[in-house]
């Protein structure tokens, strides 16, 4: 399965997914240091800069059509260490992830964030994914579950598409004819 890795950092998602047999076909990372690390370890994989500038049209033109979009979008809008401004925080980038999901319609979505997201913004994420035809499973995994010496809960969101990835596929609850622009029954 082909992966688009957003907010890539130094490639943690891709390292794990590639060990499971996935192929990273593109990264999107704005920080220059992280981009340098990605370039070193994945010299033949395209790296895009600002997620706000990245479009599905651009990716498709570059031959990149992912089966999976992954990303740990910025946590500052939800973190208890911050001001917890949610969607009012300029670093709230879930809408950009959602836009790319709409444009690319991958079969799978995997996201990660801080536990403060549960009380601030997670409902929006789940609702928008479900509206796009995904079955969504949110769950919390503490760092101590993988033998780290601290709890540090992380929210994981896994979504599986109820469509085949095509733009003609109906969204859940939408009549099939309406999704194809059918004029049957109209005069």
What is the arithmetic mean of pLDDT over 138-147?
A: 92
Reply yes or no on whether the pLDDT at 146 is more than 60.
yes
Where residue 175 falls among pLDDT bands split at 50, 70, 90?
very low
DSSP bridge pairs for 69:
4, 109
Whether 75 is a known active-site residue: answer yes
pLDDT-based confidence at 40, cuts 50/70/90?
very high
Cα Rg, the chain, nearest whole Å: 18
Is the per-residue pLDDT at 45 higher than 60? yes
Q: Which helix (H) or strand (E) holds 19?
A: helix 12-19
Give the whole-number percent of the chain exceeding pLDDT 90.
65
At residue 114, the pLDDT reads: 75
- Give the pairing type, strands 153-161 and 134-142: antiparallel
What is the pTM (predicted TM-score) of this model?
0.84
For residues 174-184, give the mean pLDDT.
38
**In the chain, pLDDT over 70 holds for what percent of residues?**
76
- Interatomic CA distance for residues 59 and 71, integer angstroms: 16
Single out the catalytic residue among 34, 75, 111, 144. Answer: 75
Pair 154, 142: CB distance under 8 Å: yes
Check residue 86 and give its pLDDT: 56
Mean pLDDT within 69-78? 78
pLDDT value, residue 165: 61
User: Is residue 179 pLDDT above 60, yes or no?
Assistant: no
CA dist 123 and 11 (Å) reads: 27
């Amino acid at each position: 399965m082909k992966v688009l890795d957003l907010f890539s950092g130094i490639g943690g998602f891709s390292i794990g997914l590639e060990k499971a047999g996935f192929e990273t076909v593109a990264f999107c990372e704005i920080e220059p240091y992280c981009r340098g690390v990605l370039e070193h370890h994945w010299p033949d994989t395209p790296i895009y800069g600002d997620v706000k500038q990245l479009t599905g049209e651009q990716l498709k033109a570059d031959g990149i059509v992912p089966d999976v979009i992954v990303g740990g979008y910025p946590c500052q809008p939800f973190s208890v260490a911050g001001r917890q401004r949610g969607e009012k925080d300029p670093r709230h980038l879930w809408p950009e992830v959602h836009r790319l999901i709409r444009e690319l319609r991958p079969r799978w979505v995997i996201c990660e964030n801080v536990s403060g997201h549960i009380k601030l913004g997670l409902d929006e994420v789940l609702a928008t994914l479900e509206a796009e035809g995904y079955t969504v499973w949110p769950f919390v995994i503490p760092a101590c579950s993988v033998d780290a010496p601290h709890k540090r809960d992380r929210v994981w969101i896994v979504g599986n598409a109820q469509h085949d990835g095509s733009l003609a596929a109906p969204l859940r609850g939408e009549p099939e004819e309406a999704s194809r622009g059918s004029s049957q029954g109209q005069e």
